[in-house]
């Protein structure tokens, strides 16, 4: 791919705008977490992932698992912007009969697995990575996790599994926006020293600014970071990133944008 940094930034802005419209129209939750991972998704689909929208089941494709399935609005927006699904279908988000359910669900082209029950995405990704490795496939598996789901024991069982099996083709990305459903991560269940925990489980670890497109691309284009180890990228992000009055607020984990807030947010995005 030859997508430039500015192209990826533009894609991220469009992902955020779609996500705002979708959650506003559906009166649904999780806009804060959808916004915090928009830059990560834009870099993945704009530059890093080996995928083909015209052949969503291409055997040699990279697999992407959105473990934080509740923030699926931004993944659906990404899939629409990159040609997997029609942009027009985004207006059906979270409505009866839609393929774009309120937690990411198979049925939409480009969606590998249904997720939403937190702590399930990394175990699924581990199984995929092991199967691909045994088949000697060139495909890689990228799993995007929330920080809050790192409270789940199943996440750490999967981390043990990935390290034990030396799944070099597995990359976990943590959207570390420091806020989960009921409060700040540090207050609910502190994760630090976060990177050291992953290292102790046999992973190669990088910590980056999850809104620095160049840093995201540079890191993800160089995986695996170490031979015979899976990679964990801890992306430091901001809940609600891109909309000033939503940034860093727990409120927008659940609260959809009102009519006025949608207009203000879109004005901000279009002005950047």
User: What are the structural domain ranges in the chain?
Assistant: 5-270
> Which residue is it, tokens 């609260």?
255
Condensed to tens digits (0 to 9), the pLDDT of residues 222-245 reads: 999 999 999 999 999 999 999 999
- Using omega within 30 degrees of 0 as the cis cutoff, is the peptide bond preceding 193 cis? yes
How does 185-218 read in b/e, with b if 16+ C-beta sit within 10 Å?
A: beeeeebeebbebbeebbbbbbbbebbbbebbbe
Considering only CA atoms, which of 218, 219, 177, 181 is closest in space to residue 194?
177
* Ordered per-residue pLDDT tens for the chain, 272 residues: 558 999 999 999 999 999 999 999 999 999 999 999 999 999 999 999 999 999 999 999 999 999 999 999 999 999 999 999 999 999 999 999 999 999 999 999 999 999 989 999 999 999 999 999 999 999 999 999 999 999 999 999 999 999 999 999 999 999 999 999 999 999 999 999 999 999 999 999 999 999 999 999 999 999 999 999 999 999 999 999 999 999 999 999 999 999 999 999 999 998 76
Condensed to tens digits (0 to 9), the pLDDT of residues 20-74 reads: 999 999 999 999 999 999 999 999 999 999 999 999 999 999 999 999 999 999 9
Q: Which CATH architecture has domain 5-270?
A: 3-Layer(aba) Sandwich (3.40)
Is 46 in a helix, a strand, or coil? helix
Contact 37, 76 (CB under 8 A): no
């Amino acid at each position: 791919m030859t997508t430039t940094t500015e192209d990826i930034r533009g894609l991220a802005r469009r992902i955020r705008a779609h996500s705002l419209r979708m959650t506003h129209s559906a009166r649904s939750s999780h806009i804060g977490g959808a916004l915090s991972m928009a830059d990560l998704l834009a870099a993945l689909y704009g530059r890093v992932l080996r995928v083909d929208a015209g052949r969503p089941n291409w055997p040699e494709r990279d697999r992407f698992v959105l473990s934080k399935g509740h923030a699926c609005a931004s993944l659906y927006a990404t899939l629409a912007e990159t040609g997997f699904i029609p942009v027009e279908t985004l207006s059906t988000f979270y409505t009866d009969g839609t393929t774009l359910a309120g937690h990411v669900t198979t049925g939409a082209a480009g969606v590998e697995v249904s997720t939403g029950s937190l702590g399930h995405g990394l175990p699924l990704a581990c199984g995929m990575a092991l199967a691909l490795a045994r088949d000697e496939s060139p495909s890689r598996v990228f799993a995007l996790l929330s920080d809050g789901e790192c409270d789940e024991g199943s996440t750490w069982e999967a981390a043990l599994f990935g390290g034990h099996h030396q799944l070099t083709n597995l990359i976990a990305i943590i959207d570390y926006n420091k806020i989960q459903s009921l409060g700040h991560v540090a207050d609910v269940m502190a994760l630090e020293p976060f990177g050291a925990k992953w290292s102790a489980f046999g992973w190669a670890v990088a910590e980056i600014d999850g809104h620095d497109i160049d840093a995201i691309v540079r890191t993800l284009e160089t995986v695996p970071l170490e031979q015979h180890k899976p990679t964990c990228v801890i992306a430091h992000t901001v809940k609600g990133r891109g909309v000033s009055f939503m940034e860093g607020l727990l409120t927008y984990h659940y609260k959809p944008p009102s009519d006025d807030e949608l207009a203000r947010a879109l004005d901000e995005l279009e002005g950047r």
